[in-house]
Amino acid sequence: MQTDSSFTFVLFGGTGDLSMRKILPALFEAHRAGGMLADSGKIVAVARHAADRGEYIQWVNEHVKPHVSKNGVDETAWSSFLERIEFVKIDLGNPEDFALLRDAVKDLPGIRVFYLATGPSLFVPICRALASVGLNENARIVLEKPLGYDLKSSNAINDAVGEIFAEEQIYRIDHYLGKEPVQNLLALRFGNALFEPLWRREWVESIQITIAEELGVEARGDFYDNTGALRDMVQNHLLQLLSIVAMEPPYSMDSDSVRDEKLRVLRALKPIDPLNIGKVAVRGQYHAGGIRGNAVPAYATEPGVKPNSTTETFVALKVEIENWRWAGVPFFLRTGKRLADRVAEIVVNFRAVPHSALGASALRAGANRLVIRLQPNESIRLYCLAKQPGEGMNLASVHLDLAFDQFFREGQMEAYQRLLLDVINGRLALFVRRDEQEAAWRWVEPILNEWKASNKPPKPYAAGTWGPAAASAMLAQHGTCWLEEEN
């Protein structure tokens, strides 16, 4: 991915956790690779927790450098990367300070990218302050999640930002869409004749999408207790992954062709019947338990969490898509904190053979399955049945690994690196369009409303397990189970 696109990348929240762990390391990796960032490109960090550029560079050396390059830091590349960085001290609550930013970037080259690595409450004030000094013209704005608390608040933010930036200037980021296995899922489906004929209800029994975390809420108790797993993970990450898995082949890979097909999936989601919600939606909250031999506290005792909180830390859903390709195929979504392992994966369970001359073992549901692992170790694995050595026809599961790292010498690109390069180069396909976001909120909001109205507490589960038993029971009703393998 080579570019000659000159740019000025303005990073709001320049001393924040996201900038430290993801954004600046991703920009360094693009810089280190050579040719991915134009030599004239500049990074302008905006923050109020550093006095000047010297102090900010010191902060970058101390806090960002440990997060870059798994194979060690190329000191020559690191030094030249630091030369790209400028700094502007701004109080984001004072619009008059934005004149300082205007003066700092007026002579810098190329397209201007404004990355808002801040809380959502600052999105609109920042955009209005940028417009007040003319910095919204011919620029691109990147918005991190969460974008709103519900459909109404999401629309309010989008309306306000939309008055300042045109839709084609707005990049709503979902980093899961930038992961290499998700890109390879598109390649497998739409670049090969082998999979696409099987990618439909006649041959697929069920599909699972899991994003599991070992971590708890950490230092985000106040934020998480007002958000919960459904808003934090399902409305964005899980529904975006579902859209990629289920979409029809796009006309091309241009931005609107891809996002049009994702939108059709979101609009085809079968609404959740409030009277049936207990059968298709499970919410849970972790209690005290153990993670890898270490005792961990219950959610309700985490700092910042209300003692009697009913906020869910786990969600499992059965989702149906009402269209010709997927009618009758259940999609099972699962996410949670303090689970038994850290894993994000998509599992496509294919139907068993209709008749077997090889014995009952060939009739196992899900014997053929495709597992797309997003984290921690990115991979794609195809499971089949094969004869065990020895006498008789006894079948056992074997797998084929699609080992891309053995075919391609260059290392895999991290999600944020790919997405930041897409912003700089004006590629919108991997970013969420407003109508997609609205469709996702419309589907999720009735679940939120029903949970709130019922006032039932989440089902408890011990930290270090795979969540409430009800989540497994939901799949058992369909003759299947969650795929739970060791990393």
* Residues with catalytic roles: 237
HSE-up (13 A, CA, CB side) for residue 380 = 18
Nearest to 126 by CA among 146, 143, 108, 112: 143
- Which sign does the torsion angle of CA 240, 344, 451, 308 carry? negative
Distances, alpha carbon 166 to alpha carbons 160, 162, 235, 419, 434, in Å: 11, 6, 24, 19, 11
Residue showing tokens 């796009």:
250
- Please state, in angstroms and rounded to a whole number, the distance separating the CA atoms of residues 432 and 240: 8
- Please state, in angstroms and rounded to a whole number, the distance separating the CA atoms of residues 230 and 15: 28
Looking at residue 357, the DSSP 8-state letter turns out to be S
C-beta separation of 1 from 29 below 8 A: no
C-beta separation of 320 from 270 below 8 A: yes
For residue 132, the one-letter residue type is S
HSE-up (13 A, CA, CB side) for residue 366 = 14
DSSP strand pairing (369-375 vs 343-350): antiparallel
- Please state, in angstroms and rounded to a whole number, the distance separating the CA atoms of residues 101 and 12: 11
- Please state, in angstroms and rounded to a whole number, the distance separating the CA atoms of residues 406 and 365: 31
- Determine if the peptide bond prior to 66 is cis (ω within 30°): no
Distances, alpha carbon 22 to alpha carbons 28, 121, 179, 358, in Å: 10, 21, 13, 51
28-41: b (≥16 Cβ within 10 Å) or e: bbbbbbeebbbeeb
Does an H or E element contain 435, and which? Answer: helix 434-454
Number of other CB atoms surrounding residue 446 within 10 Å: 14
Q: Which two tokens stand for residue 400?
A: 């084929």
Looking at residue 254, the DSSP 8-state letter turns out to be S
Q: Which residues are CB-contacts of 103 (< 8 A; sequence separation ≥ 6)?
A: none
